[in-house]
Chain A
Amino acid sequence: MKIVFKYTKLGKLKFISHLDNLRVLQRALRRTGIMAKYSEGFNPHPKLSIAYPLSLGVESIGEIAEVDLLNDISISEFVDRMNRCLPHGMLITEASEYLGNQSIPSMVCSQVYLFRISHNDEESVDATISSLNGLLDNDYMIIREKKKKNKIVKKEMNLTSFILGIELINIEMLDIDIKITIHVSDSGSLKVDEVREFIYNSLDGVKSIEVQRTALNFIDKVI
């Protein structure tokens, strides 16, 4: 049976890389004693995958993973047993059986981040509020460098074309929380640092930015 679950990655766990995150989940599953199905081949590994990588250093309350279990189990039992074995900072908040055939990672269409923008003063807060609407009006070109056979290949792309929407969530004192939804496609997506850089360059009086991933969206219902 396949189960899709949503989990958090908070605190110190934000310093765990994608591959290490996968290992942490696999080990927690082993500690529960719930058996996963295994892949074939030279080095069989449990069928467990994370929907979309999260940048190192970013916390999340909306990570999605999929596991293929050997035997049927009730969703609540799965969640209970996993949560007892997960390290501090990682908690499954939602889970459901997955009946579809398409793999979860291939269905991700966008990722959502909450940016908490701290300002130096109230003037900057006002300025940010009034400029939010027009933030995506212009192209914002970024350059990515890729190493290809010892050559550095430069690729230029328009950042704003990847941003599907910006939503104002909350204003409190000098902090403004905005939600940014970023397109994910075969040709890739944006990195958190690129968006952070974009905010710093587009707004005035920004003191610091905290980021958290809040959700992943899929082309069909998975959870």
Chain B
Amino acid sequence: MNKNLFDEILMRVEKPARYTGGELNSIVKDINDVNIRFAFAFPDVYEVGMSHLGMHIIYNLLNSYPNIWCERVFTPWTDMEKELRNHQVELFSLESNDSLKSFDFVGFTLQYEMSYTNILNMMQLSGIPLESHKRDETYPLIIAGGPCAFNPEPLHEFIDMFFIGEGEELLLEVMALYEKHKEGGYSKQAFLKEACQVEGIYVPSFYDVVYDDTGKISKRIKLYDNAPDVIKKRIIKDLNKSYFPDKIIVPFIETVHDRIVLEIFRGCTRGCRFCQAGMIYRPVREKSVETLLAQAELLLDSTGHEEISLSSLSTGDYSKLIELSQALLDKYEERRIGLSLPSLRLDSITFGLIERVQKVRKSGLTFAPEAGSQRMRDVINKNITEEDILGSVKTAFELSWSNIKLYFMVGLPGETRDDIYGIKEMVYKIKDAFFDRPREAIRGNFNINVSAACFVPKPFTPFQWDPQNTVKEFQDKTGYLKREIKDRKISFSYHDPKLSYLEGVFALGDRRVANGMKRAFEMGCTFDGWGDQFDYDKWLAAFKEENISMDFYNSRKKEYDEILPWDFIDCGVRKEYLIDEKEKSLKEITTDDCRVNCSGCGVNTSLVGGPCFEDSL
């Protein structure tokens, strides 16, 4: 694209710096010096994608090899898309401004289901055929990984190969293999045949699926004999030794999270039954305090960010949290670098810490009771009591907090009206706790933000067999809460039931939903995760035209012996364990945290090859 046209287009779009590249620490190489060109593609806008830690890890990891150049591409916002289409300019990477067509690999990260149509759009905008079988050797290989790859089937038609599990090592193995093939005269089929032998790689075109007359899967057939029957997820055994960048790109414009992110551990030991991340990221692996302090130092010096965020599924469970936080504060308080501790459980120890954190930069407090009644919290194995929550907020109020956020879910399995009413009760008890104090102690403008998400059953959780609530049921529940929670001091918001319902279709879908997705995209659906862009009626029309029932996937109770679309993937957690957990949930029996008592999910034998924790057993 010539520079004048580029400038002219950029002057017409919102936030042009989304498309310019050239940020500090972005990497430009000479294409004559590299063998492999890789486009890391994030199917959402720049500000969202740039806040994603995984992208920064992969970008720098690949670029640390002189023979590989990894560039970035994000979904252009609708205004930019229009300009690209009007001027017949193909979607380009930020570093070289070359069309995605000129790359060896375009790698999409699958962070949430509602970004799927953006993947199709980005391929189309680059002039790349959507269907894998229509792409010969002249097109890039379209690959994908990330949490949603644990049910890859809805995207089977479009993606050449999926990466299941953690990508740091797997990606390099595949790059080495590709380089070998490229030297010896590259053929896509020959490469895919060898690549599918690598543990963690799934090539969907090597399989077919047969359905019975009720529409359920009856069996999977291999179209290539040597393709593996089961795809086993990959993990990094020792996070202290795994790659972590010493520099990350510093965006020019404000992004969702403008800060450095330290990943303190992967996995989670809580075993909440609704949580897919808690299952697929097992086992828990911590980074050492020394590793984290060294990484913080390098990243702060190379970015100039003023905040460090500790990232994990449950910050408070990091065994050296106090030690790490104190060390970071001791070191950086003076430089006014703030510390953010998301998903932290509040107790006496952490409160001391939070008080100190607040001195550098103030932040809000968020609690996630997830369910309103103790019964429901037992069903989902959210091992937290009302006393825990009330105790925490009371302490918070004493420490002069007056603003808190509360997260709940509606539509959980076996939910009754009482359980939903429990949400209201808890919120009002928290409000009372604020005002039931001596007059002189009450300060600040009290406000509670209550947010209710619509529950989506996810693969590899004990609730994967459960039907999701219908849109109507969700609307009844959120409507009920909206009527019940009427208080100037409490604001109530909820997720769009239609969006959550569609998310359920893609979370639980098989190969056949791909056609519905393609049709909806052709009808103009993109950016479905953005409330102002989401058009549910179009989705309904698309599925109707393709004669696909949404309800079949997410509104139907499935039996334990039904073949589920993602059963061929081994995430380390045994199906028997999931069934066990589901049965316990029906009896409202909770399961201990893995650190207290091994619950026998199978990860220790299948992936770790021994106990998950040094100090266990």
Residues of A within 8 A of B252 (CB): 13, 15-16, 20, 23-24, 87
Stretch at the interface among B159-167, B235-243, B299-307: B299-307
A57→B11 contact, CB < 8 A = yes
A38 CA to B337 CA, complexed, in Å: 12
Q: Kindly state whether residue A44 has any CB partner on chain B within 8 Å.
A: yes
Stretch at the interface among A25-33, A162-170, A214-222: A25-33
For the complex formed, measure the closest distance between the CB of A30 and the CB atoms of chain B, giving whole angstroms: 4
Residues of B within 8 A of A27 (CB): 24, 250, 303-305
Q: Kindly state whether residue A88 has any CB partner on chain B within 8 Å.
A: yes
B23→A23 contact, CB < 8 A = no
Using known A-B contacts A16-B253, A17-B253, determine if residue A56 contacts B16 with beta carbons closer than 8 Å.
yes
Residue of A nearest to B17 (CB): A15
Interface residues of A in 180-221 (CB under 8 A from B): none
Q: Kindly state whether residue B487 has any CB partner on chain A within 8 Å.
A: no
Interface residues of B in 16-65 (CB under 8 A from A): 16-17, 20-24
Residues of B within 8 A of A20 (CB): 17, 252-254
A38 CA to B23 CA, complexed, in Å: 26
Residues of A within 8 A of B335 (CB): 30, 35
Residue of A nearest to B301 (CB): A31
Q: Kindly state whether residue B336 has any CB partner on chain A within 8 Å.
A: yes
Residues of A within 8 A of B219 (CB): none
* A-B contacts besides A16-B253, A23-B252, A56-B16, 19 pairs, CB < 8 Å: A12-B22, A15-B16, A15-B17, A16-B252, A20-B17, A20-B253, A23-B258, A27-B24, A29-B304, A30-B306, A31-B301, A31-B302, A38-B336, A42-B362, A43-B361, A57-B10, A57-B11, A87-B252, A88-B22
Residues of A within 8 A of B305 (CB): 27, 30
Q: Kindly state whether residue A53 has any CB partner on chain B within 8 Å.
A: no
Specify which of B22, B304, B361 is in contact with A28 (CB 8 Å cutoff): B304
B253→A89 contact, CB < 8 A = no
Interface size on B, residues (CB 8 A): 25
A159 CA to B254 CA, complexed, in Å: 34
Q: Kindly state whether residue A107 has any CB partner on chain B within 8 Å.
A: no
A57 CA to B11 CA, complexed, in Å: 6
Interface size on A, residues (CB 8 A): 28
For the complex formed, measure the closest distance between the CB of B554 and the CB atoms of chain A, giving whole angstroms: 42
B residues neighboring A (CB under 8 Å): 7, 10-11, 16-17, 20-24, 250, 252-254, 258, 301-306, 335-336, 361-362
Residues of B within 8 A of A24 (CB): 252
Q: Which 8 A-B pairs have the closest CB atoms?
A: A27-B304, A30-B304, A31-B304, A15-B16, A12-B20, A12-B22, A15-B17, A87-B24
Q: Kindly state whether residue A79 has any CB partner on chain B within 8 Å.
A: no
A-B contact count (CB 8 A): 63
A35 CA to B332 CA, complexed, in Å: 12
For the complex formed, measure the closest distance between the CB of A140 and the CB atoms of chain B, giving whole angstroms: 24
Q: Kindly state whether residue A176 has any CB partner on chain B within 8 Å.
A: no
Residue of A nearest to B335 (CB): A35
A87→B22 contact, CB < 8 A = yes
A43 CA to B358 CA, complexed, in Å: 11
Q: Kindly state whether residue A85 has any CB partner on chain B within 8 Å.
A: yes
For the complex formed, measure the closest distance between the CB of B255 and the CB atoms of chain A, giving whole angstroms: 11
A24 CA to B182 CA, complexed, in Å: 41
Residues of B within 8 A of A35 (CB): 335
Specify which of A19, A28, A30, A87 is in contact with B23 (CB 8 Å cutoff): A87
A23→B303 contact, CB < 8 A = no
A27 CA to B11 CA, complexed, in Å: 25
Residue of A nearest to B18 (CB): A15
Residues of A within 8 A of B303 (CB): 27, 31
A136 CA to B252 CA, complexed, in Å: 39
Using known A-B contacts A27-B303, A35-B335, A44-B336, determine if residue A15 contacts B250 with beta carbons closer than 8 Å.
no
For the complex formed, measure the closest distance between the CB of A195 and the CB atoms of chain B, giving whole angstroms: 16
For the complex formed, measure the closest distance between the CB of B24 and the CB atoms of chain A, giving whole angstroms: 5
Using known A-B contacts A15-B17, A31-B301, A87-B22, determine if residue A43 contacts B250 with beta carbons closer than 8 Å.
no
Residue of B nearest to A86 (CB): B24
A89 CA to B7 CA, complexed, in Å: 16
Specify which of A23, A29, A31, A33 is in contact with B254 (CB 8 Å cutoff): A23
A202 CA to B20 CA, complexed, in Å: 34
A87 CA to B22 CA, complexed, in Å: 8
B336→A15 contact, CB < 8 A = no
A76 CA to B362 CA, complexed, in Å: 36
A–B Cβ pairs within 8 angstroms, 30 of them: A11-B22, A12-B17, A12-B20, A12-B21, A12-B22, A13-B22, A13-B252, A15-B252, A16-B17, A16-B252, A20-B252, A20-B253, A20-B254, A23-B252, A23-B254, A23-B258, A27-B24, A27-B303, A29-B304, A30-B306, A31-B302, A33-B301, A42-B362, A57-B10, A57-B11, A85-B304, A87-B23, A87-B24, A87-B252, A88-B22
A27 CA to B249 CA, complexed, in Å: 12
